[in-house]
């Protein structure tokens, strides 16, 4: 255990169907950076969870609401989201934006205020993305990155940083030393003060 333990909890949310894909590699490097600063890191594989789409019923938004009306794996995830000081949201680019798994999770975070007062304000967030194109614009990565920026600015979360790179074959991102170094540094920053 590192001597400089921060006591911070970092929750990594993998939004890819590939457990060992490029996005998972980037998220893992962010996690290693955070752990090197003493953070406690937990990883959740969203693809392996039963997360239903938001039904727009607004039950979670009613006065004195205590939960989302849907009973699925998000019920176990809400307390983890609240307990974490920081989130790492990792998604590859699928059809010019984040994956469906990531978007389902993100939509269901609409109910998070029913579980705790101001659950987003000050939450530290890092984003990791991998895409198959040559640049983040023509690949669609910027669409997802912009969605994260706008959403987390709106709820007053602290978007600490984003790391992204081009790689199609699983694990190929490891060869991009610059992106891997940026991911590790982002994790260290995420776990810092």
Q: What is the pLDDT of residue 6?
A: 63
Structure-block tokens of residue 48? 């392996």
Label residue 146 left, alpha or beta by phi (over 0 means left) and psi (-120 to 50 means alpha). alpha
Q: How far apart are CA 92 and CA 141, in angstroms?
A: 8
The structure's pTM equals: 0.93
Please report the sign of the dihedral spanned by the C-alpha atoms of residue 44, residue 147, residue 34, residue 115. negative
Q: What is the mean pLDDT of each run of 10 residues along the chain (193 residues)?
A: 68 95 97 97 97 97 94 97 97 94 97 93 96 82 93 96 92 94 98 88
Q: Mutual orientation of helices 177-191 and 22-36 as an angle, nearest 10°? A: 40
Which 3 state secondary structure label does DSSP give 9?
strand
Over its C-alpha atoms, the chain yields an Rg (Å, rounded) of: 16
| Structural domains of the chain ordered from first start | 9-191 (3.40.50.360)
Please report the sign of the dihedral spanned by the C-alpha atoms of residue 64, residue 66, residue 67, residue 69. negative
Q: What is the pLDDT of residue 174?
A: 95
Taking CA atoms, 189 is separated from 86, 115, 123, in Å, by 11, 27, 13
Q: How far apart are CA 29 and CA 174, in angstroms?
A: 10
* Cβ–Cβ under 8 Å, residues 9 and 83: yes
Q: What is the pLDDT of residue 3?
A: 47
Q: How far apart are CA 103 and CA 187, in angstroms?
A: 23
* Cβ–Cβ under 8 Å, residues 27 and 12: yes
């Amino acid at each position: 255990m590192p001597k400089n333990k921060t006591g911070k909890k970092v929750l990594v949310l993998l939004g890819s169907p590939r457990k060992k894909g490029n996005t998972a590699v980037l998220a893992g490097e962010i996690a290693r950076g955070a752990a090197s600063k003493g953070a406690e890191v937990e990883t959740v594989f969203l693809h392996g969870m039963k997360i239903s789409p938001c039904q727009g019923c607004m039950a979670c938004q009613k006065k004195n609401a205590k939960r989302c009306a849907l009973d699925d794996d998000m019920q176990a995830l809400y307390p983890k989201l609240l307990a974490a000081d920081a989130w790492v949201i990792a998604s590859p680019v699928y059809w010019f934006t984040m994956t469906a798994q990531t978007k389902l999770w993100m939509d269901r975070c609409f109910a998070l205020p029913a579980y705790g007062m101001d659950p987003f304000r000050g939450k530290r967030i890092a984003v990791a993305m991998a895409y198959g194109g040559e640049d983040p614009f023509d690949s669609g990565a910027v669409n997802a990155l912009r969605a994260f920026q706008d959403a987390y600015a709106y709820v007053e979360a602290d978007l600490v940083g984003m790391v992204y790179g081009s790689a199609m074959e699983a694990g190929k991102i490891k060869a991009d030393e610059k992106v891997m170094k940026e991911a590790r540094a982002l994790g260290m920053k995420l776990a810092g003060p």
